[in-house]
Amino acid sequence: MSAPFEVGLDTFGDRTLSTSGTLVSHGQAIRDVVEQAVLADQCGLDFFGVGEHHREDFAVSAPEVVLAAIAARTKRIKLGTAVTILSTDDPIRVFQRFSTLAALSNGRAEVILGRGSFTESFPLFGFDLRDYELLFEEKLELFAAVRQQEPVKWEGEHRVPLKTGRVVPPVEQGLLPTWIGVGGTPESVVRAAHYGFSLMLAIIGGEPARFRALVDLYHRALKELGRPALPIGVHAPGHVAETDERAREQLWPHFLEQRTRIGAERGWPPPTRAQFEHEAGPDGAIFVGSPKTVAEKIVRTAKTLGLSRFDLKYANGAMPVDELRASIELIGTKVAPVVRESMERGA
């Protein structure tokens, strides 16, 4: 039998609005993330992912520390990143942090590796952006070797050659579940297949159906490499409230502020309400609405792309904590059961 379909949540630790209307501190945002993960576990969700960023607007720069705190207070939910910026980290330390998390959580740790959509970590940790591609390729190769939990012999351009025994602590439950976060480049898809890593598609704009070509490429690459089928997931933004109208009205001002702020850094124009409504519609990339609306859209996307998991990025800008908690409860108690049942019966 195939594994049950999984529904998870992702957050970057966005600094939210307090009851007085001001942004909470970074510390409070981190504490709130822990409480939100505990709630997700209580509501029966399958995964909780915390993204790594090094910016004023996101509180989490050391996700494994936050995940360890969550592990101590949860029982069943899987814990991972969304994503770990491997390009500016040390692959051995990344593995050790997650194998430690696996020990603390009794095997619930996963890692989603990526290059990151922001580049602040490069100057912060002394890396050259001109090495963007090579850094990720080399470090992914080393991580894949360490993950096998066997003696490692490796040589590359950006660190001294390595010859060592297996890296400790090992993961007691076998190989560490590892995903590659992909924003849309075929090279990243083939790379994930090459190393035998699961594929996580980050869909933040446009029709999710357009990613079907990347899914097909992943399947072909796995087959040509003689590897078995592996899980495919989607990470996408959204928000759930009791009605479609209420969910959209709660999300829109924060979505607008965040996209406008980030767009100013990257040369994008501010989004219009019409664009938001299109993305929030049946064929767009924003999963916002009532539990029924969001569940139907997740199921449609999952069947179109052949997914094993869907992770909703439930925190989008400075949304108040009470709205986030209400959304988590609805996702866990109203959305996820419908999605799982629909996927199980294939209807």
| pLDDT tens for each residue of 268-291 | 899 999 999 999 999 999 999 999
Report d(CA 10, CA 203) in Å as an integer: 13
What is the reported pLDDT for 20? 86
Q: Which residue has the tokens 């025994």?
A: 165
339-347 CB contacts, 8 Å cutoff, 24+ apart: 339/5, 339/7, 339/295, 339/298, 339/299, 339/302, 339/310, 340/4, 340/5, 340/7, 342/295, 342/299, 343/5, 343/299, 343/302, 343/303, 344/4, 344/5
Mean pLDDT for 287-314 is 98
Q: CB within 8 A of 212, min separation 6: which ones?
A: 304, 305
What is the reported pLDDT for 175? 98
Question: Count of H helices and E strands in the chain?
Answer: 12, 12
What is the reported pLDDT for 29? 97
Mean pLDDT for 70-80 is 98
What is the reported pLDDT for 87? 96
What is the reported pLDDT for 19? 84
How does residue 1 score in pLDDT terms, banded at 50, 70 and 90?
very low
Report d(CA 235, CA 203) in Å as an integer: 6
Residue 310 pLDDT exceeds 60: yes
Average pLDDT, the chain: 96
Of all residues in the chain, the percent with pLDDT exceeding 70 is: 99
Q: Which amino acid, residue 28?
A: Q
Q: pLDDT higher for 346 or 84?
A: 84
Q: Which residue has the tokens 């207070």?
A: 73
What is the reported pLDDT for 252? 98
pTM of the predicted structure, to 2 decimals? 0.96
Q: CB within 8 A of 170, min separation 6: which ones?
A: 99, 149
Coil, strand, or helix at residue 310?
strand
Judge whether 178 and 147 are in contact, CB under 8 Å: yes
- Neighbour-count burial of 190, counting CB atoms closer than 10 A to its CB (0-12 exposed, 13-18 middle, 19+ buried): middle
Which of 111-120, 166-175, 331-340 is predicted with the least confidence, judged by mean pLDDT? 111-120
What is the reported pLDDT for 93? 98
Alpha helices in the chain (DSSP H): 26-42, 63-73, 91-104, 121-124, 132-147, 186-195, 212-224, 244-266, 273-280, 291-305, 321-330, 336-345
How does residue 346 score in pLDDT terms, banded at 50, 70 and 90?
confident
- Neighbour-count burial of 28, counting CB atoms closer than 10 A to its CB (0-12 exposed, 13-18 middle, 19+ buried): middle
How does residue 345 score in pLDDT terms, banded at 50, 70 and 90?
confident
Tens-digit pLDDT profile for residues 14-71? 999 988 889 999 999 999 999 999 999 999 999 999 999 999 999 999 999 999 999 9
Closest CA to 284 of 323, 334, 248: 248
What is the reported pLDDT for 226? 98
